[in-house]
Structure formats: C-alpha cells, structure tokens
Amino acid sequence: MIFKKTITLFFFSIIASTTYSQQMRHIEDSIRASTLIADKLKSLNASGASKFLYLFSDAGTIAIVYEIGEKIKGVKCYYKGKQNSKFSSLRLSKDDKSNYNKCMNIVAKATIVSFSNCKDFVHSFNRIVFKINTNGHFLKGNFTSDCSDALERNNMLCLFNIYQQLLL
C-alpha cells in the first residue's frame, strides 16, 4: 500500500513540476515578446506611426502592422529559441491591408476581449495576444487558434486572417 502511494505521489510531482515549468516558460516568453514589441513601438512612434496592430503567438512569432502617413507597413520577428530577435520588413498583400483596415474600424473605445479554447475537440492550439491602437482608443486581448468561429460572430475575423497570413 505504501508503495502505491509513493508511486502515485512521484507521478503527481512530475506532472505538477512539468505544468509549473510550462507556466514559467510562458511567462518568460510573454515578457520577452512584450519587451520587443514595446521597443519597436517606441521607434515606430518616433518615426510617425499613428496607428498599429500587433499580434504575437506562443509559437514564437510577433507581427506588427502599422500606418505611417497613408502607407500601411508591417514587420515580423521571432522571439523564441536561439533565433535572432530582429524585426524584418513584411511584404503585405492587398488582403493583409484590407484586414488591417477592418481591424482599425472595429475599435470604438478602450476594450479588452478574450476568446480561449473555443472548440472542445481541439487538443492543440496556439494562444495569440493582440492589441489594436487607433485614435487614442485600443482593443486588446487574446484568442486561441481554434477560435475563428467566435471571432467571426463578433465581427473580428480580420484578426484571425492576419494571424493566418503573418504569423503562420
């Protein structure tokens, strides 16, 4: 009986330590991504960027789409692992620019939204954090890669489309 309890306790401690380790890695990754984004946004604001949208996924990718004057531009960066964490320019398609404009139009006031684990049968998904800033108002939050239906119902499918085009 003591042997069974010892084995059960041993396996429980392995599971608990693994879960704790994953949470700590997620926190460290989020801090690293947030720092990279903040630094890039400072330089974009200094360059005259008036509106922006950023997304980052727990898969390790950051994308920022921004507006300088009348031009819509984008940059991308990988922040996980041993890859270089420098932003590189993105070539945006007409669809990317259209989705960006749709996202800018959904921001009416400062709001926070969250869509997570939208489908019960999905076992693997990415968590995507986003922020849209326009005219002093923002919309920020997160969703998981299985939430396209929920985003569509809330007229926010443009975020999912940008995620698919720029982060995958």
Domain chopping of the chain, boundaries: 2-167
3-state SS of the chain?
Answer: CHHHHHHHHHHHHHHHHHHHHHHHHHHHHHHHHHHHHHHHHHHHHHHCEEEEEEEEECCCEEEEEEEECCEEEEEEEECCCCCCCCCEEECCCHHHHHHHHHHHHCCCCCEEEEECCCCCCCCCCCEEEEEEEECCEEEEEEEECCCHHHHHHCCCHHHHHHHHHHHC
What pTM, to 2 d.p., does this model score?
A: 0.80
Per-residue pLDDT of the chain (168 residues; tens, 9 = 90+): 666 666 665 555 565 555 445 556 667 777 888 888 999 999 998 998 889 999 998 888 999 999 998 899 999 998 876 666 789 999 999 999 999 999 988 887 667 888 877 776 656 678 888 999 987 788 888 888 888 888 888 888 998 999 989 887
